[in-house]
Structure 1
Amino acid sequence: MVSGDQVQPQPPILLTPADLAALSEAVRRSEGVQEHAERLLAELTLTRQLLDGCPAGVAVLDSELRYLYINDALARLNGLPAEDHLGRRLRDILPDLESSEQLLGQVLRTGAPQVITVGGQTPAVDSPDKRWWLGAYHRLDNESGEVLGVAGVVLEVTEALRGREHLVRAGNRMALLDEANRSTGSTLDLGRACQALADLLVPRFADYAAVDVVDPEGTPRVPSERYPLRLRRIALSTTPELTETTSRMGRLGEFVVHRAGSPMAHVLADRSPLVLSHPDDEAMRQFSPSSGGEEHYLQMGANSGIYLPLAVRDDLVGAVMVFRVGDSPPLTAEDTGLLGDLTDRAATGIAHAVRFTREHETALEMQRAFLNAPTVTGPGVETLGRYLPAGSGAEVGGDWFDTLALPHDRTLLVVGDVMGHGIRAAAAMSEYRSVLRTLAIQGSSPDFILLQAERTALTLELDRVATCLLALLDPRQERVTFSNAGHVPPLLVTPDGTRTLLNLPVAPPLGVGLGSFSATTVPLPPGSLLVLCTDGLVERRDRDIETGLRTFATLPLAPGEPLPALLDTVISHLDPSTSEDDVAVLLARTRAPGSDRDDTSRLPAGWVNWPGSPPY
């Protein structure tokens, strides 16, 4: 066990216990020995007992870093008898100890004591696990300043460091789980919630991560291995090196179909993760959900991967796929457990986002259906309306507009806003819209229509109140009659460009039960423009509604311009994209009798301009 270039063992310079006993006997038999010599010998004996019996490891090495003395405690730590150390170099006894000779050489050169933790392995434990020792070292000099060697006291601190490391890992784990909760649970935007999870996983745990969400129309409510599973890819995250390769593995928004009986279908049906370690080509094909994409998965060069279900109790939300590639260390069982906890935490936030998104889309589709119902205007009136749902982080509300042709060439304009958001608000909106239409065709005045609508709402026990503005246009008489139930006032722009925010009497909203509605009639010259809107256009959380109304009243509208251009002006100047509420805007312009001009390119009256479809 001694290397070929090792210096031959030298006799130790320190006395052995037998030497000390012989010296003590000689001192007692000698005549003329001074009393202080006996005390010195007693002190030497006590010191030796202290070193030999010390539970910490103690060693003395000469200037060539050869062992001169080692106590039994250190011999046990090193895994060799004490006598096997004497005269041998440190590196020959403990070749797997990190930087030990370099450290002691520095103590010999500088004379500065060192307290340091070193790691490595010794013959004491037959285990590949690394161990650590805390050592305090100082140089030994004689009275003339000659360097004799170095002494050290050593304690093994492996368990203490492992315990501290375990606490650190536990703290990091909790922090990571909290981060997963915050990042996925702080938004109701499905794309953001899923992307937050993917970004949390890459590059911290994986080189590639994809988050898929179950498509309710393509997956049975209770998934099983007998049915194919269809998911939609909502989020992706990769390291820069994999961007080009993984771009061919599927884009955001695409459907991912897992064949019936496939390993992936088994994972989702049983809610149990699938782990691949050093997968071969056949194993990687299991990760390819749709036919035709196998080669792209093989080209990634993964050394390990995990497919984890996203579920909240018995409800399957989706799945997460992660890979490590190239020189990245393969995923371990510990990684699998942590990733499972992460996805469990994230599943709750993503499930909330899924439910909200589906409700948001359902309410939006209801709005589409209601506002796309055929609308007709009387002669001499052209209209154009637009509904703008709030951003994906807010629920669809109950805003609406309507136009209705009435006898005697009159046209009724309606703009309303049901309190609240979501499907119930959209459903209430449809009820109010139907009630107002039914009452309007009876030929009543706007104030009487609102009064009857109020009574009907109370009779039907509608649980949502609604603001509403009615405008009855009579181009023949060149006048318009308004009645307002708690709504934003309209803007009138006459042919000469004069803009007036009409100050109408305001009654309580419909459904409150305090209705006492009045009618106000104002002149409406041919070529006049009316702009009706809901409060989402002019009100913001960080802006007083009066400020929005002043902006509304001073819009640069030229009444002769095409209605689409005028509507774009309204939208661009008031920027409803920053509103937390949805917006309905209705423009109406009267024409001279007999005029066939239609600057909306002959769009159907009441045409609705919808933004793009929702992201899910």
Structure 2
Amino acid sequence: MTHPRPSAGSAPVLSTGTLRELSEAARAAGTGQVLDELWTARRFLDGTPAAVAVLDADLRYLYLNDTLAGVNGLPVQEHLGRPMPEVIPGSEPSAEVAREVLRSGRPQTVVFDGRPPDDRADVPRWWLGAFHRLEGEDGEILGVAAVVMEVTEDIRQRESLRRAQERLELLEETAARVGGTLDAAEACRALTDVLVPRFADYAAVDVVDPEGTRRAPAAPVPVRLRRMAVAAAPGMPEPLTPTTRSGEVIFHQASSSMSQVLTGHKTMVLNRPDDDTLRLLAPTPQRLERYRALELHSSVYLPLMVGGEPVGAVMVGRRADSPEFTPDEVELLELLTARAATGIGHALRYTHEHETALEMQRAFLATPHIPGPGVEIASRYLPAGRGAEVGGDWFDAVALPSGRTLLVVGDVMGHGVRAAAAMSEYRSLLRALALQGLAPDRLLSEADRTAHALDLDRVATCVLALLDPAAEEVVLATAGHVPPLLVRPDAVPELAVLPVGPPLGTGSGGYGSRRCPMPPGALLLAYTDGLVERRGQDIDAGLAALADLPVTAKHALPDVLNTVLDRLAPANSEDDVTLLVARSL
């Protein structure tokens, strides 16, 4: 195989003036076609907006046009005969590409960045360079040709599109992660997870606290906020990670950054503030010392605005060698917190209502339940998971004259505070009617008529069990509720078959009852549908699973409840689960 051989020597390419004179002389002699073609090619190279150069095998400039000379910031004559790395400092990467082209003979295209010597703007520029080897007729290597075009604007546009796409994806990610939960603490943690370590070394989210500052003040005053989430980047000093705990109540003085952001509704940027500013803005002297220990040098405070009102604020900080916050970064942070604020606001409202309803329900269910003689009871209440609203489940035991006990388990339709309030009304109504000595079916009829007359805005299902230990029987009636489970001694558990009645509050009436044997030692388990009902599954499957549980009349009541819940209760229920088990003694 024959390899191209380098030329013995190289000389600068003929100048434009010399080539023009030769072309004119050749035309006068009638032999100028070849020189005319060369002259035309040279005029093309000299006039093209692309930067063109011809270098010899040692990468010395043989030719370059004015465009390239302008890019390099030196006259053409200061290039000729000199190696490219000597003329243009920082051009070694391009020289390496040229050497590889000389060695392999394969053309190469490369994008490189730099700054022309006379460019006063401190911004990067990019060029696209195409290199190919030049060879003589007999294969000797003459050098390498380079054609360079500036592509700065194209790259900037592509970079702008890329950043816009990344920004859009980040905003969508923030909305999905923060808005994907109704738990306020989880929503705030999702925001800090987005911010750290992508944008900051440290981030915290504080919200107005119903137990402290119920809403942001209109003027700078001391505020008591709850820190819902805090995150620190890897590398934060271990003793200081984190500087605060989630759930901690923080008192911010009137001059603090948080207080000003909440009242002014505007972002505050502190890039390397002096000590006097820090002392003024830090919530407490102790917190100022923590900031210094963390080496936090730059911070941004951003309000979380919902419907024109702040529900909290976000603080992000950078420490040690991290750079200051740029205007573009602050703008993006504002977009992120604006997108997150809606989700956090929804979660805060829901969490407040959820906890209020749960506290109401627990308060109602905490009322002592004392059955009549000959009856022992045990109960259990499991609220819905954090992602679901509290329902209106309840249970009750009412001791009646003649040694009887009325057991009630019910469920108000709907969820939230109003459902919990309606539950209290139905519970009180049934208690009052039970003390009149009505039979279970008549009691349901009166309760339905009264609830309808009072125009209660929610209906309720319930099951009544009137236990009479002396008669060794129980009278059962239901208002659209799941059937209770009967467990008699030496018998398999069975679901009671009862006359179907409509939920209370419809005004439809039409309730029936059934008497069932209840010998000493027998168990009765009443419950709400959250125990046996599953999304996408027929409720009969849940009822069958309940009837098949390994429960006997000999088991202690707490063990019965544990067995039922361990086998049937979902890990994260979408509905409340209420159980009431009674034994006839």
Fold shared per TM-score above 0.5: yes
1:217 to 211, 214, 219: 211
Tell me if 1:84 matches 2:78: yes
- Report the Cα offset of residue 95 of structure 1: 0.9
Matched residue, 1:23: 22
In the alignment, the residues of structure 2 paired with residue 360 and residue 48 of structure 1 have an alpha-carbon distance, to the nearest angstrom, of 82
Q: Which amino acid aligns with 1:240?
A: P
Residue 571 of structure 2: SS of its match in structure 1? helix
Q: 1:587, 1:360 → 2: CA distance? A: 27
**Corresponding position of 1:597:** none
- The residue correspondences of 1:92-171 to structure 2 (distance < 5 A) are 92-97=86-91, 99-171=93-165
Report the Cα distance in structure 2 between the residues aligned to 1:492 and 1:27, rounded to whole angstroms: 120
Conserved? CA contact 1:532–1:587, under 8 Å: yes
Report the counterpart of residue 294 of structure 2 in structure 1.
300
- What SS is found at the alignment partner of 1:241? coil
Distance 1:135 1:173 in 2: 31
2:390 is the counterpart of 1:396: yes
- Secondary structure of the residue that 1:140 maps to in structure 2? strand
Within the candidate set 459, 470, 479, 2:464 is matched to 470
1:451 aligns with 2:450: no
CA contact (8 A) 1:536 1:582 kept: yes
Give deviations 1:138-157, integer Å, cap 9, x for gaps: 11222232222211111111
Specify the alignment match of 1:430 in structure 2. 424
Deviations 1:201-249 (A, max 9, x none): 1222222222222212211524245432222222232223227243351
Count of equivalent residues: 577
- Amino acid of the residue matched to residue 319 of structure 1? A
Residues 433 and 348 (structure 1), Cα distance of their counterparts in 2 relative to 1, 3 Å cut: same
Give the alignment's Cα RMSD to 1 decimal.
2.1
Determine the structure 1 residue equivalent to 2:13.
14
1:114: how far off? 1.2
Structure 2 residue aligned with 1:46, among 40, 43, 50? 40
Does structure 2 retain, via aligned residues, the 8 Å contact 1:390–1:577?
no
In 1, distance between residues paired with 2:114 and 2:17? 35
Pairing 1:383–2:382 present: no
When structure 1 is superposed on structure 2, of 365-374 and 158-167 the one drifting more is 365-374
Post-superposition offset of 1:13: 2.9
Letter in 2 for 1:18: G
Q: CA deviation at 1:398?
A: 0.8
TM-score by length of 1: 0.89
Cα separation, partners in 2 of 1:334 and 1:172, compared to 1, 3 Å: same
Choose from 228, 253, 256 the match for 1:234: 228
1:497 deviates by 5.4
Shift of the 512–144 alpha-carbon distance from structure 1 to 2, 3 Å rule, reads same
Q: Among 64, 69, 76, which residue is 2:63 paired with?
A: 69
For residues 576 and 47 of structure 1, the distance between their equivalents in structure 2, rounded to whole angstroms, comes to 82
Distance 2:494 2:12 in 1: 110
Give yes or no for contact 2:220–2:260 (8 Å, CA) kept in 1. Answer: no
Q: TM (normalized to structure 2)? A: 0.94
Give the superposition deviation at 1:66: 1.9
Contact kept in structure 2, 1:97 and 1:122, CA below 8 Å: no
1:496 & 1:285 partners in 2: Cα distance?
77
Residue aligned with 1:46, SS: helix
In 1, distance between residues paired with 2:25 and 2:498?
A: 124
Corresponding residue number in structure 2 for 1:370: 364
Give, in whole Å, the separation in 1 of the partners of 2:86 and 2:190: 53
Rounded to whole Å, the distance in 1 between the matches of 2:221 and 2:26 is: 97
Alpha-carbon separation, structure 2, partners of 1:93 and 1:236: 54
Give, in angstroms, the shift of residue 461 of structure 1.
1.3
> Contact 1:137–1:150 at 8 Å: present in 2 too?
yes
Q: What SS does the aligned partner of 2:413 have?
A: strand
Aligned to 2:581: 587
Q: Secondary structure at the match of 1:322?
A: strand
Where does structure 2 lack aligned partners over 5 or more consecutive residues?
1-8
Rounded Cα–Cα distance in structure 1 between residues aligned with 2:22 and 2:420: 105
Report if aligned partners of 2:27, 2:33 keep a CA contact under 8 Å in 1. Answer: no
Contact 1:533–1:586, Cα closer than 8 Å, also in 2: yes
Q: Structure 1 residues 307 and 245 mapped into 2: Cα distance closer, same or farther (>3 Å)?
A: farther
Query: Where do 1:274-423 residues align within 5 Å?
Result: 274-279=268-273, 288-423=282-417
2: distance between equivalents of 1:434 and 1:147? 104
Secondary structure of 1:99's counterpart equals helix
* Structure 1: gaps (5+ residues): 1-9, 592-616
Amino acid at match of 1:160: D
CA contact (8 A) 1:245 1:296 kept: no
Amino acid of the residue matched to residue 99 of structure 2? Answer: G
Q: 1:286 to 1:305 in 2, by over 3 A?
A: farther
Deviates more, 1:65-74 or 1:240-249: 240-249
The structure-2 alpha-carbon separation of the partners of 1:385 and 1:29, relative to structure 1 and needing over 3 Å to count, comes to: closer
Alpha-carbon distance in 1 for matches of 2:420, 2:311: 26
Select which of 476, 481, 486 maps to 1:492: 486
Aligned residue number for residue 595 of structure 1: none
Instruction: Return the offset for 1:124.
Output: 3.8
2:193 aligned residue: 199
Aligned to 1:270: 264
Percent of aligned positions that are identical: 55
Partners of 1:524 and 1:260 in 2: CA distance: 68
Map Cα deviations across residues 413-468 of structure 1 (whole Å, 9 max, x no partner): 11111111111211211111121111111111110010011111211112212111
**Aligned equivalents of 2:472 and 2:24: distance in 1?**
136
Query: Do the aligned partners of residues 283 and 496 (structure 1) sit closer, same or farther apart at CA in structure 2, a change above 3 Å counting?
Result: farther
Aligned equivalents of 1:363 and 1:431: distance in 2? Answer: 14
**Structure 1 pair 475–117 and aligned structure 2 pair: CA distance change class (3 A):** same
- Which whole-Å CA distance do the structure 1 matches of 2:100 and 2:281 have between them? 55
Distance in 2 separating the partners of 1:283 and 1:383: 65
